[in-house]
A and B are shown apart, each in its own frame.
Chain A
Amino acid sequence: NAGVTQTPKFQVLKTGQSMTLQCAQDMNHNSMYWYRQDPGMGLRLIYYSASEGTTDKGEVPNGYNVSRLNKREFSLRLESAAPSQTSVYFCASSEGRAVEKLFFGSGTQLSVL
């Protein structure tokens, strides 16, 4: 049972390069999320998708775009990477109610030089 799968696990980019982080879940969850984790800042919500076909901004959306490709997949795109986007990125999913827990992926460690 894979749960939430993120790719890649590690990535190094140069400033200005673009890339897409992929996320897929096999639990038939309605809601999916992208967080970034920074020391001293905890996890901050970048974007989320409450259900297939909808996306919404979180706390720190600037510099990112997302696509909810279908119910399973939710990708995060950096169009022009900046050093401030160096972070660990986590994808998560939930059934879609506020009381339900989040299931997390293993994370993507991104460095922007």
Chain B
Amino acid sequence: AQRVTQPEKLLSVFKGAPVELKCNYSYSGSPELFWYVQYSRQRLQLLLRHISRESIKGFTADLNKGETSFHLKKPFAQEEDSAMYYCALSDNNFNKFYFGSGTKLNVKP
């Protein structure tokens, strides 16, 4: 069965500190992986996706197939990064998306 695990419920860092939000997955194929973000009082929205190899708002994520991980990183956290972050995996066979339990990032001034 497909599964996405985010081990940290809450991550608190100071402004300017590096951030790493962990995501591990299990999937019996070649996964498509995403990070979604939900800012306070806003809709859940895509932050970045593996296939695009992009950097959005200074965030990057690398797919490590050996460790089955897709950790989200940012070298210098900003207060506006405070939000709920969800790692997600899409099932190529059925076009279903599975989400992790989410990590709340709190960036302190």
B-binding residues in A (CB < 8 A): 31, 33, 35, 40-45, 48, 50, 56, 58-59, 90, 92, 94, 96-99, 101-102, 104-107
A33 to B4, CA, bound (A): 18
In whole Å, how far is A57's beta carbon from the nearest beta carbon of chain B?
Answer: 10
30 contacts between A and B (CB under 8 A): A33-B96, A35-B99, A40-B101, A41-B101, A42-B4, A42-B6, A42-B100, A43-B44, A43-B86, A43-B102, A44-B99, A45-B98, A48-B95, A92-B44, A94-B97, A96-B95, A97-B95, A98-B32, A98-B90, A98-B95, A99-B51, A99-B90, A101-B34, A102-B36, A102-B44, A102-B46, A102-B88, A102-B97, A104-B43, A107-B43
CB neighbours (8 Å) of B44 from chain A are: 43, 90, 92, 102, 104
B108 at the interface (CB under 8 A from A): no
Contact across chains for B97 and A45 when beta carbons are under 8 A apart: yes
B45 at the interface (CB under 8 A from A): yes
CB neighbours (8 Å) of A44 from chain B are: 99
B53 at the interface (CB under 8 A from A): no
**Interface membership of chain B positions 78-109, coded 1 if the CB is closer than 8 angstroms to chain A and 0 otherwise:** 00000000101011101111111110000000
Find the A residue at minimum CB distance from B6: A42
The 9 closest A-B pairs by CB, nearest first: A42-B101, A43-B99, A98-B90, A101-B46, A104-B44, A98-B92, A42-B102, A42-B99, A104-B43
B:29-64 near A, CB below 8 Å: 32, 34, 36, 43-46, 49, 51
Contact across chains for A104 and B45 when beta carbons are under 8 A apart: yes
CB neighbours (8 Å) of A41 from chain B are: 101
In whole Å, how far is A60's beta carbon from the nearest beta carbon of chain B?
Answer: 12
Across the interface, A42 reaches (CB within 8 A) one of B51, B86, B95, namely B86
B65 at the interface (CB under 8 A from A): no
A45 to B44, CA, bound (A): 15
